[in-house]
Amino acid sequence: MTHILFICHGNICRSPMAEFIMKDLVKKAGLDDRVSVSSLAATRDEEGNDMYPPARRKLAQEGIPFAPRAARQMTMEDYEQADLVIGMDEENRRDIMRLTGGDKKHKVHLLMEYTDRSGEVADPWFTGDFDTTFRDVLDGCRGVLKEIIQEKR
């Protein structure tokens, strides 16, 4: 089983969007028995909070199923259990490195590395642009899935 862990600042916008988009893609690819997906926060800022309402609305608008959840900060145990730890931006990567003492097992990546575009997934908490964030997350998740499928062959 491949376990993917998505990380963003508070785990209320980008990383839960990635979690539910990826779960939907994995299910549609018939791989839900071989790939597990979850998301966590790089900080404790939103601990215990559910996904931000505009993020939930965007997923619903796009037909992506989601469930209630509670944000929590990533731990070293989470890092150890994951095969891939995927952050949304450089700040997330720095926070992950701080939480884990460095990426000794080379699991940490940024989501946009899995697309043909460079850069970061902008935080819609600040931009208010959930459409662009959704597009970037969807493209990144498709790239992650493509890589997993190639590795499983």
Catalytic residues, which ones? 8, 14, 123
Tokens representing 8 are: 């963003």
Q: How far apart are the first and last CA of the chain?
A: 14
In angstroms, the Cα distances linking 96 to 9, 45, 106, 127, 151 are: 10, 15, 12, 23, 25
* CA atoms within 13 A of residue 151's CA, in its CB half-sphere: 12
Tokens representing 72 are: 């929590």
In the chain, how many H helices and how many E strands?
Answer: 6, 4
Supply φ then ψ for residue 37, to 5 degrees: -135, 135
Residues 6+ apart with CB under 8 A from 44: 73
